[in-house]
């Protein structure tokens, strides 16, 4: 179905208001014949007569009367579009749901929401907590607008803004390491490894530095599902773990935990703000990423 153009709707609305084609043609800057042609084309498009015209008067048909308020609203919206494009109306209101993992959301994103709300006054921010792979899937399916994760965007239709470097440390409870030191790889057999899941994702950051270390280097291993649970287990002296530095920086400073090998530097990753590459709000997401980078990880 072909849609009427804005100028034809304007001619219709002016003619409906004046009920005089000559007066209406003067108001829209056309000849009476040109105005009549516009109205005729519009009637052909919608498939009904909009006016009853005689040599003595012009009246709206029931169809024309029904169309009039909607045509007026369309013209108002068209004018609003022009004003919005010129910046006269300010940014359009947006609802943005950010996906993130639980620990990062609570320690870093949630505290910055008031400042983000002030910086982007037209945006209402919401949080969703999930894992990296689940977040990517939800962004692609448009269940989430964007997400923050250190998981790389391997999907073709995902784009990202790089935020902060995520450093990792290999740690254990200080008392545990004093009782059972791990000065070399051979001593790891007396310790339990704690990781996120059976894939031992966090151990990967240690193995990139110490290639000879594998799960069999440890006496046992278990997984806890989230890094906050791993941190709690390490603080309780239940084993060793690779953890993000931002999460345990205060624990290290307080002496509750310690580096297993103090001289060792593990590989790092990056937190990224992920979003669909075909999302029309890409420029907003880039501005959001710039604002988030100003907040240090914690």
Domain containing residue 231: CATH number: 3.40.190.10
Q: Is residue 1 part of a domain?
A: no
Coil/strand/helix, residue 175: helix
* 262 and 189 co-located in one domain: yes
Compute the average pLDDT of residues 92-111.
93
Give every CB contact of residue 181 below 8 A, 6+ residues apart in sequence: 187
Q: Can you say how many angstroms the Cα of residue 1 is from the centroid of all Cα atoms in its chain?
A: 35
69/138 same-domain check: no
21 in a structural domain: yes
Phi-psi region of 47 (alpha: psi -120 to 50; beta: other; left: phi over 0): left
In this structure, the answer to whether residues 279 and 158 fall within a common structural domain is yes
Token pair listed for 27: 């108001």
Residue 174 has pLDDT above 90, yes or no: yes
Do residues 186 and 197 share a domain?
A: yes
Q: Decide if pLDDT at 91 tops 90.
A: no
CATH of the domain at 60: 1.10.10.10
Residue 77 and residue 100: Cα distance in Å, rounded?
37
Q: For 194-223, what is the mean pLDDT?
A: 88
pLDDT reading at 27 higher than 80: yes
- CA 206/CA 240 separation, integer angstroms: 12
Task: Count the domains in the chain.
Answer: 3
For the chain, percent of residues with pLDDT exceeding 90: 69
Same domain, residue pair 285 and 142 = yes
298: in domain:
no
The model's pLDDT over 195-208, given as tens digits with 9 standing for 90+, comes to: 998 888 899 888 88
Residue keyed to tokens 């999460």 = 247
Q: Which domain holds residue 108?
A: 94-165+270-293
| Structure token digits, residue 245 | 């530095």
User: 159 and 274: one domain?
Assistant: yes
In a domain, 223, yes or no: yes
Q: Is residue 216 part of a domain?
A: yes
Mean pLDDT score of the chain, rounded to an integer? 91
pLDDT of residue 223: 92
pTM of the model: 0.73
Q: What is the mean pLDDT of residues 179-188?
A: 79
CA 37 to chain centre: 49
Domain final residue pick, 43, 59, 85: 85
Confidence band of 133 (pLDDT split at 50, 70, 90): confident
In a domain, 180, yes or no: yes
Alpha helices in 19-61 (DSSP H): 21-28, 32-46
Q: Residue 255 carries which DSSP code?
A: T
Q: Residue range 273-292: average pLDDT?
A: 94
Site of tokens 């219709």: 12
pLDDT at 262: 86
Among 85, 111, 136, identify where a domain stops.
Answer: 85
Strand locations in the chain, DSSP E? 51-53, 58-60, 94-100, 123-129, 146-149, 158-173, 192-195, 220-223, 241-244, 257-259, 268-276
**Which residue among 85, 111, 135 closes a domain?**
85
- The verdict on residue 210 lying in a domain is yes
Shared domain check, 174 and 59: no
Residues 158 and 171 in one domain: no
200 lies in some domain: yes
Same structural domain, 160 and 226? no
Same domain, 223 and 249: yes
Do 172 and 264 belong together in one domain? yes
Residue 267 has pLDDT above 90, yes or no: no
Same domain, 109 and 251: no
Q: What is the mean pLDDT of residues 268-284?
A: 93
- Counting other chains too, the contacts that 245-253 makes at CB distance below 8 Å and 24 or more residues apart are 245/166, 245/167, 245/168, 245/169, 246/107, 246/108, 246/166, 246/167, 246/297, 246/298, 247/103, 247/107, 248/169, 248/171, 249/298, 251/171, 252/169, 252/171
């Amino acid at each position: 179905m072909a849609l009427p153009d804005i100028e034809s709707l304007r001619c219709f609305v002016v003619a409906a208001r004046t009920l005089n084609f000559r007066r209406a043609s003067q108001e829209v800057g056309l000849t009476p014949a040109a105005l009549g042609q516009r109205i005729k084309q519009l009637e052909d498009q919608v498939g009904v007569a909009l006016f009853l015209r005689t040599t003595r008067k012009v009246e709206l048909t029931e169809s024309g009367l029904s169309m009039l308020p909607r045509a007026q609203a369309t013209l108002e919206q068209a004018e609003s579009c022009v004003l919005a494009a010129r910046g006269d109306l300010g940014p359009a209101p947006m609802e943005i749901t950010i996906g993130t993992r639980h620990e990062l959301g609570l320690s870093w994103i949630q505290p910055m929401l008031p400042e983000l709300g002030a910086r982007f006054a037209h945006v209402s921010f919401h949080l969703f907590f999930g894992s990296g792979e689940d977040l990517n899937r939800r962004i692609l399916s448009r269940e989430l607008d964007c997400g923050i994760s250190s998981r790389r965007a391997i999907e073709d239709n995902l784009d990202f803004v790089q935020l902060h470097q995520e450093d990792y440390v290999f740690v254990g409870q200080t008392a545990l390491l004093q009782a059972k030191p791990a000065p070399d790889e051979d001593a790891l057999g007396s310790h339990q490894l704690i990781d996120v899941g059976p894939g031992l994702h966090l151990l990967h950051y240690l193995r990139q530095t110490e290639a000879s270390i594998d799960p069999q280097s440890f006496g046992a291993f278990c997984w806890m599902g989230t890094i906050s649970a791993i941190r709690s287990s390490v603080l309780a002296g239940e084993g060793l773990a690779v953890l993000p530095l931002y999460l345990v920086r205060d624990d290290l400073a307080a002496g509750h935990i310690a580096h297993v090998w103090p001289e060792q530097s593990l590989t790092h990753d990056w937190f990224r703000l992920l979003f669909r590459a075909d999302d029309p709000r890409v420029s907003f997401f880039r501005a959001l990423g710039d604002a988030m980078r100003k907040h240090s990880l914690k």
